[in-house]
């Protein structure tokens, strides 16, 4: 017989002695009785005198009651030692079960028939481990996907842990972050006796994750590896799951518009056969619900295919989807469906209404004509002055060498060439003669791919931008701001200090003759529209990204609507929202201020992980150069727990004592 | 689980028996009148002041003979017997005189127990009823409360118009104390030279025993009339658990764990005690009545009348 209780014999003996002393003293201490007045106590005296003839028996009955109580106490304390029939020769352990819930655990190869997923088998293994825990063993269950999430505290409550595994753990769409999980487990096990980590996984971890482990004491000084996970004195075991490796998956999928022709786009797709056999698939590319292209792929084992679909004409829908479907016949099986579909989004494209307030400026009109994504309208300054409401409903208003008395109302963005006077949108502090642009803000979207170092201009207004109002300088001549921009709520305002050449003007610049001029206009209109050429809208799941939200002012939080319709919230800082894709599919991020949506963006999330798509199970796992063994310490011992029977016996004795006391037998 | 109603804890301040203001109301008076009418029917033919006493004197009704002693009146020598038996014997006659009735009511603390009617109240009602009948029959009646001593007395009175004094006396007389029957009876016989009927109404819960007190009455030629009053739940208490039983008179405490067998033993002991009292009275041919407070007092009084133990 073994005793697996959580307390030692010494402490147990103290508790037993204390409890026995309490029980005996309870019998010795005089009972406080209720007082009642009677008319003639002599009668009771005579009765008691007769009863006292049986005093010995009475004392014996009290002794029987005391012995019953002591027996109950003894049985309960004995049960607390968790007496177990059958030998167990190990000490109590503290166990962290790392249950891999990454995307590859969705592979349906848990059994030969393909009816169970790896996750199902992993859960089954975890529950077997928990059921075989001995007395004193405590376990914590931790879910490992893109994050490491402890699902329980350390507990020896087997049914509770089993229920957590059944109800709260499911495979996600993200790769596993094993180093993070190992670090969290090591921290949880710090200073606990006999620490043990059991990894239940298919072993689909990138090599880069497996080297961050130090088994010995951490090195100090210059050789210290700050990223290393200290697993010294911790026993780490590995329980593999998974059977098959046949999988063809999309490991990269993205799309972008052409800079010159935003009506068209090109698609990049990367596919790999991770199986040991040749595979045949049908790849179909959808724009919305419309199939754009379909082709058959014949992939050799391990073959890696990159596909580019150039110059695909734009459709009404911005959502792109690529699917892989097995082809009937040999090489058409696939155990892992998650990477067979990938999603991408085209950056939003909107035709802008542009109002030009100009006196027949050929350079300006000509440059705008090359941009097919606008709907231009031209009026003269006199017409505009007579009817400013003409700007209502416009997305962009361009003032060419004309400064209106009042700015058009938002949300129209404004482009000024040579604003003057007190109505200028930017304060003017002087005039510069023959300025040379010496510095530009290359990080600003308007100045991207633009060179202005040798542009000639005979004169230019010099602005006095106020950074406190969000005004920034895009180009300056030594210290004189020549081109300035600012956000004014949701709209944007850009001003050039010089005017473009035109009939009747005495100013002169060669900017319209340069390549930079149409580029400047296109960049400006794209910036006004919030369209950034290098904006990525497709991300990998399980990674934290910062996504720009155009025009966000005053919002600290954005609402994220996931592929399954769930609503979560993410922080927004400096116009950048944090995005973490938990599932593959389309997401909508909406920033709100005062209850109104002020900016939104749609994003797509894909697994996009070759290591996760490579579902070939690994029967062994090597961490930090050490191959992990199976957790034989949890081999199930055939033991018979006695505490339940002892508890039943104690309950029976308590009932007997209660009955005999209340029937005044043991009183 | 039944409440121990019999043994409601009693303190001196909260003694429910002290409030006797509503004891003798109009309804009570009507009941008394009814009892008087009934008593006249039961004893029709009796004349006023014609109760025969045991006292041998100068009446006309022959009672007995006794041996002649020197100094006796020659006129009462029965010469016929002398002629036949050659012995000098005197003829004795029953003397006819007013009957003296002494109502002795136990007012000790044990009489204060009882629910809903304390035994003391019951005893006072019965005592008042007997007093009224006696007064109405032109007997001389005195009421003497007793506990550990004779606390007060209502002097011998005659005529039923004195009944209100009786009520007033019973409502105001001091109560409480222990029961010391022997001492009280000794005082009683010392203070009352005129023999008569001594009605003792009590629960007879005297630690010293009841015999000596009643014997004192007998030795001094009084005619004891024993009326024992008890409460039903006093005889069959509904108790349970671990209790400290406190004697309401002596303060003596008995710690008991009340079990069913103990209760049964107590009931037997109580019955035995009552039986002892009854046997004693039977042995000495004393009128004896035992009643509990649940029986209406007028019913008890009628029962006494019918038995002929009170008035003959």
Residue B109 main-chain phi, psi, to 5 deg: -65, -30
DSSP state letters, A466-496: -GGGT-EEEEEETTEEEEEEEEETTEEEEEE
CA distances from B186 to B67, B150, B202, B207, B219 (A): 32, 10, 16, 17, 10
- Structural contact between residues A301 and A277, judged by C-beta atoms closer than 8 angstroms: yes
- Does position B44 have pLDDT exceeding 60, yes or no? no
Strands A195-201 and A94-100: parallel
Min Cα distance B66 → chain A (Å) is 47
Q: Do B265 and A33 touch (CB under 8 A)?
A: no
Residues of A in contact with B205 (CB under 8 A): 39-40, 42
The closest CB to that of B244, out of A33, A45, A51, belongs to A33
For the record, the structure tokens of A79 come out as 């049960």
Burial class (CB in 10 A: 0-12, 13-18, 19+), B266: buried
Other C-beta atoms closer than 10 Å to the C-beta of A525 total 22
The answer, yes or no, to whether residue A133 has pLDDT greater than 70, is: yes
Least confident of A115-119, B36-40, B53-57: B53-57
Percent of chain A with pLDDT over 90: 18
- CA distances, B80 to each of A159, A570, B74, B89, B298 (Å): 120, 143, 13, 10, 52
SS3 A659: helix
pLDDT, position B50: 43
> Do the Cβ atoms of B142 and B170 come closer than 8 Å?
no
pLDDT at B128: 93
Residues B67-125 pLDDT 10s: 888 888 888 889 999 999 999 998 887 665 678 899 999 999 999 988 888 999 999 99
For A439, other C-beta atoms within 10 Å of its C-beta total 16
Give the span between the Cα atoms of B306 and A505, in whole angstroms: 150
Mean pLDDT of chain A: 84
- On chain B, the residues whose CB falls within 8 A of the CB of A48 are 254, 256
> Measured between alpha carbons, how far apart are the two ends of chain A, in Å?
38
In the beta sheet, which residues pair with residue A326? A281
Q: How far is CA A163 from CA A120, A139, A160, A166, A426, in A?
A: 14, 14, 5, 5, 65
Q: Does B106 touch chain A (CB under 8 A)?
A: no
The answer to whether B13 faces chain A, any CB pair under 8 Å, is no
Selected for mutation to probe chain A from B247, B266, B293 (highest A CB count within 10 Å) is B247
The residue-averaged pLDDT of A116-135 equals 86
Cβ–Cβ pairs < 8 A, chains A and B: 88
Burial of A265 (0-12, 13-18, 19+ CB in 10 A): buried
What are the b/e assignments for B116-127, b being 16+ CB within 10 Å? ebbbbbbbbbbb
Cβ–Cβ contact B264 with A under 8 A: no
Q: Is the peptide bond before A561 cis (omega within 30 degrees of 0)?
A: no
Contact predicate B204/B47, CB 8 Å: no
- Residues with Cβ < 8 Å from A254, sequence gap 6 or more? A267, A268, A344, A536, A538
User: CA-nearest residue of chain B to A38?
Assistant: B247
Query: Is A55's Cβ below 8 Å from some Cβ in B?
Result: no
Nearest to A616 by CA among A343, A125, A277, A142: A277
| Torsion angles phi and psi, residue B120, rounded to 5 | -60, -45
Are the Cβ atoms of B110 and A664 closer than 8 angstroms? no
Tell me the chain B residues in contact with residue A47 when contact means C-beta distances shorter than 8 Å.
262, 265-266, 269
Which two structure tokens, joined as six digits, stand for A228?
């290393």
What's the 3-state SS for A248-285? EEEEEEEEEECCCCCCEEEEEEEEEECCCCCEEEEEEE
State the virtual CA torsion across A30, A34, A37, A40 in degrees, nearest 10. Answer: -50
Query: Strands, DSSP E only, in chain B?
Result: 52-57, 61-67, 89-96, 100-106, 140-146, 154-157, 197-202, 223-230, 241-247, 253-258, 288-292
Residue % of chain B over a pLDDT of 90: 41
Q: Which residues contact B71 (CB under 8 A, 6 or more apart)?
A: none
Over residues A347-404, the pLDDT tens digits come to 666 678 899 999 888 888 888 887 777 888 889 999 999 988 888 888 899 998 899 9
User: Token pair 């046949």 is at which residue?
Assistant: A246
Confidence tier at B305 by pLDDT (50, 70, 90): confident
Is the pLDDT score of A637 beyond 60? no
Indicate yes or no: CB of A37 within 8 angstroms of CB of B252. no
In this prediction, residues B241-259 reach a mean pLDDT of 86
Cα B143 from Cα B192, distance rounded (Å):
12
User: Closest partner residue to A42 among B207, B241, B261, by Cβ?
Assistant: B207
Instruction: State whether residue A57 sits within 8 Å of chain B by CB.
Output: no
Mutate to test the interface with B, among A29, A30, A41, A666 (most CBs of B within 10 A): A41
Highest mean pLDDT among A287-291, A317-321, A600-604, B116-120: B116-120
Q: Are the Cβ atoms of A35 and B270 closer than 8 angstroms?
A: no
Contact between residue A586 and residue A539 where contact means Cβ atoms under 8 Å apart: no
- Say what the pLDDT of residue A56 is: 67
Collapsing DSSP to helix, strand or coil, B302 comes out as: helix
Residue of B nearest to A665 (CA): B259
The one-character DSSP state at A567 is: E
User: Terminal CA-to-CA distance of chain B, rounded, Å?
Assistant: 49
Nearest to A37 among B10, B205, B269 (CB): B10
Buried b (16+ CB within 10 A) or exposed e, A564-576: eeeeeebebeebe
Whole-number Å distance between alpha carbons of B307 and B194: 26
Calculate how close chain B gets to A37, using CA atoms only, in Å: 5
- pLDDT at residue number B54: 47
Q: For A204-256, what is each residue's pLDDT tens digit?
A: 787 777 777 777 776 666 566 667 788 888 888 998 888 888 889 999 998 88
What's the ipTM?
0.78
Instruction: Say whether A37 and B256 touch across the interface (CB within 8 A).
Output: no
Q: What are phi and psi of A604, to 5 degrees?
A: -120, 145
The answer to whether B244 contacts A34, with C-beta atoms less than 8 Å apart, is yes
Which of A27, A29, A35, A40 is the best mutation test for B, with the most CBs of B within 10 A? A40
The rounded distance, in Å, linking the Cα atoms of A317 and A608 is 23
Determine the pLDDT at residue B47. Answer: 36
List, in sequence order, the alpha helices (H) in A452-586: 516-529
Helix (H) or strand (E) segment spanning residue A355? strand A352-357
Which chain B residues in 32-61 lie under 8 Å from chain A, judged by CB atoms?
Answer: none
Interior CA angle at B197 toward B194 and B198, to 5°? Answer: 95
Interface of B with A in 205-244 (CB under 8 A): 205, 207, 231, 234, 237, 239, 241-244
Are A36 and B256 within 8 A, CB to CB?
Answer: no
3-state DSSP assignment of residue B289: strand
| CB pair distance less than 8 Å for A38 and B259 | no
Q: Is B181 in CB contact (< 8 Å) with chain A?
A: no
Looking at the partner chain, which of B250, B262, B273 has a beta carbon nearest the beta carbon of A41?
A: B250
Q: A596-606 and A538-540 as β-strands: parallel, antiparallel, unpaired?
A: parallel
Nearest to A533 by CA among A236, A249, A255, A246: A255
pTM, two decimals, is 0.50
- A638 burial class (0-12, 13-18, 19+ CB within 10 angstroms)? exposed
- Which residues in chain A touch residue B241, judged by CB atoms under 8 angstroms apart? 34
Q: Is A44 close to B245, i.e. CB distance below 8 A?
A: yes
CB proximity A43 to B under 8 Å: yes
Note the pLDDT of residue B103: 94
What is the pairing mode between strands A576-580 and A567-573?
Answer: antiparallel
CA distances from A551 to A14, A393, A438, A530 (A): 71, 19, 29, 8
How far apart (Å, rounded) are the C-alpha atoms in residues A293 and A584?
Answer: 22
For residues A486 and A470, the answer to whether their CB atoms sit within 8 Å is yes
Please say whether the beta carbons of A197 and A184 come within 8 A. Answer: no
Q: Quick check: A327 pLDDT over 80?
A: yes
User: pLDDT grade, residue A636 (50/70/90)?
Assistant: very low
Min Cα distance A19 → chain B (Å) is 25
pLDDT of residue B141: 92
Quote the percentage of chain A above a pLDDT of 70: 89
Structure letter (DSSP) for residue A621 = -
* Contact A35/B at CB under 8 A: yes
∠ Cα A419 A425 A430 (to 5°):
55
């Amino acid at each position: 017989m073994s005793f697996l209780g959580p307390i030692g014999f010494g402490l147990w003996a103290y508790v037993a002695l204390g409890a026995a002393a309490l029980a005996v003293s309870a019998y010795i201490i005089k009972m406080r009785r209720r007082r009642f007045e009677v008319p003639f106590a002599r009668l009771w005296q005579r009765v008691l005198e007769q009863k006292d003839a049986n005093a010995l028996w009475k004392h014996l009955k009290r002794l029987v009651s005391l012995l019953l109580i002591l027996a109950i106490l003894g049985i309960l304390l004995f049960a607390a030692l968790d007496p177990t029939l059958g030998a167990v020769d190990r000490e109590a352990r503290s166990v962290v079960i790392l249950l891999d819930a990454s995307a590859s655990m969705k592979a349906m190869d848990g059994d030969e028939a393909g009816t169970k997923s790896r996750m199902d088998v992993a859960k089954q293994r975890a529950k077997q481990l928990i059921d075989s825990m001995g007395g004193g063993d405590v376990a914590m269950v931790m879910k490992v996907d893109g994050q490491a999430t402890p699902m329980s505290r350390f507990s020896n409550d087997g049914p509770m842990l089993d229920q957590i595994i059944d109800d709260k753990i499911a495979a996600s769409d993200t790769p596993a972050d094993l180093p993070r999980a190992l670090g969290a487990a090591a921290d949880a096990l710090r200073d606990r006796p006999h620490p043990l980590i059991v990894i239940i996984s298919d072993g689909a971890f990138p090599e880069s994750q497996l080297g961050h482990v130090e088994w010995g004491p951490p090195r100090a000084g210059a050789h210290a590896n700050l990223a290393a996970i200290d697993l010294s004195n911790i026993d780490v075991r590995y329980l593999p799951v998974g059977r098959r490796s046949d999988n063809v998956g999309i490991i990269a999928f993205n799309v972008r518009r052409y800079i010159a022709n935003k009506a068209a786009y090109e698609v990049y797709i990367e596919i790999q056969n991770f199986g040991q056999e040749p595979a045949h698939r049908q790849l179909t590319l959808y724009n919305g619900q419309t199939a754009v292209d379909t082709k058959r792929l014949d992939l050799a084992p391990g073959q890696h295919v990159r596909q580019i679909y150039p110059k695909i004409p734009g459709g009404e829908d911005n959502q792109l989807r690529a699917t892989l479907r097995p082809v009937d016949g040999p090489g058409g099986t696939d155990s892992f469906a998650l990477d067979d579909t990938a999603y991408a989004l085209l950056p939003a494209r909107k035709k802008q209404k542009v109002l030009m307030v100009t006196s027949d400026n050929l350079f300006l009109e000509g440059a705008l004509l090359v941009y097919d994504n606008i709907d231009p309208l031209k009026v003269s300054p006199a017409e505009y002055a007579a009817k400013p409401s003409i700007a209502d409903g416009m997305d962009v208003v361009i003032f060419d060498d004309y400064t209106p008395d009042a700015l058009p109302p938002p949300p129209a963005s404004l482009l000024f060439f040579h604003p003057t006077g007190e109505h200028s949108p930017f304060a003017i502090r002087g005039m510069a003669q023959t300025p040379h642009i010496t510095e530009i803000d290359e990080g600003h979207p308007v100045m991207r791919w633009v060179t202005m170092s040798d542009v000639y201009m005979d004169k230019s207004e010099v602005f006095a931008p106020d950074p406190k109002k969000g005004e920034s300088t895009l180009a300056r001549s030594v210290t004189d701001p020549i081109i300035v921009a600012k956000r004014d709520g949701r709209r944007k305002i850009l001003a050039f200090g010089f005017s473009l050449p035109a009939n009747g003007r005495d100013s002169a610049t060669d900017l319209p003759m340069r390549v930079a001029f149409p580029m400047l206009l296109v960049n400006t209109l794209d910036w006004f529209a919030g369209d950034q050429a290098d904006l990525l809208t497709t991300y990998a799941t399980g990674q934290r990204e910062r996504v720009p939200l155009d025009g966000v002012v005053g919002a600290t939080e954005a609402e994220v609507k996931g592929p399954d319709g769930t609503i979560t919230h993410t922080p927004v800082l400096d116009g950048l929202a944090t995005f973490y894709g938990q599932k593959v599919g389309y997401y909508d991020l909406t920033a709100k201020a005062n209850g109104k949506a002020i900016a939104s963006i749609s994003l797509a999330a894909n697994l996009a992980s070759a290591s996760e798509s490579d579902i070939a199970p690994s029967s062994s796992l090597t961490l930090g150069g050490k191959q992990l063994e199976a957790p034989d310490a949890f081999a199930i011992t055939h033991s018979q727990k006695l505490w339940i029977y002892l508890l039943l016996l104690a309950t029976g004795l308590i009932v007997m004592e209660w009955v005999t006391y209340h029937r005044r037998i043991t009183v | 689980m039944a409440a121990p109603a019999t043994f409601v804890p009693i303190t001196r301040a909260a003694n429910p028996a002290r409030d006797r203001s509503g004891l003798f109301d109009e309804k009570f008076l009507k009941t008394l009148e009814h009892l008087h009418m009934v008593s006249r029917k039961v004893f029709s033919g009796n004349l006023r002041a014609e109760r025969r006493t045991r006292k041998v004197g100068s009446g006309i009704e022959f009672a007995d003979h006794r041996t002649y002693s020197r100094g006796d009146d020659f006129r009462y020598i029965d010469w016929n017997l002398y002629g036949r038996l050659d012995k000098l014997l005197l003829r004795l006659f029953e003397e006819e005189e007013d009957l003296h009735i002494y109502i002795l009511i136990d007012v000790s603390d044990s009489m204060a127990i009882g629910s809903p009617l304390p035994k003391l109240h019951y005893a006072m009602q019965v005592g008042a009823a007997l007093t009224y009948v006696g007064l109405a029959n032109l007997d001389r009646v005195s009421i003497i409360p007793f506990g550990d001593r004779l606390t007060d007395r209502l002097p011998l009175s005659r005529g039923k118009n004195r009944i209100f004094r009786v009520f007033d006396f019973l409502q105001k007389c001091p109560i409480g104390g222990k029961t010391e029957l022997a001492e009280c009876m000794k005082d009683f016989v010392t203070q009352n030279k005129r023999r008569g009927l001594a009605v003792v109404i009590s629960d007879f819960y005297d630690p010293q025993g009841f015999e000596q007190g009643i014997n004192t009455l007998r030795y001094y030629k009084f005619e004891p009339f024993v009326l024992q009053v008890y409460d039903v739940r006093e005889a069959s208490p509904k108790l349970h658990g671990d209790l400290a039983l406190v004697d309401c008179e002596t303060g003596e405490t008995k710690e008991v764990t009340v079990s069913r067998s103990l209760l049964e033993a107590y009931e037997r002991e109580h019955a035995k005690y009552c039986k002892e009292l009854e046997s004693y009275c039977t042995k000495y041919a004393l009128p004896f009545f035992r009643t509990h407070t649940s029986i209406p007092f007028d019913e008890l009084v009628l029962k006494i009348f019918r038995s002929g133990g009170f008035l003959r």
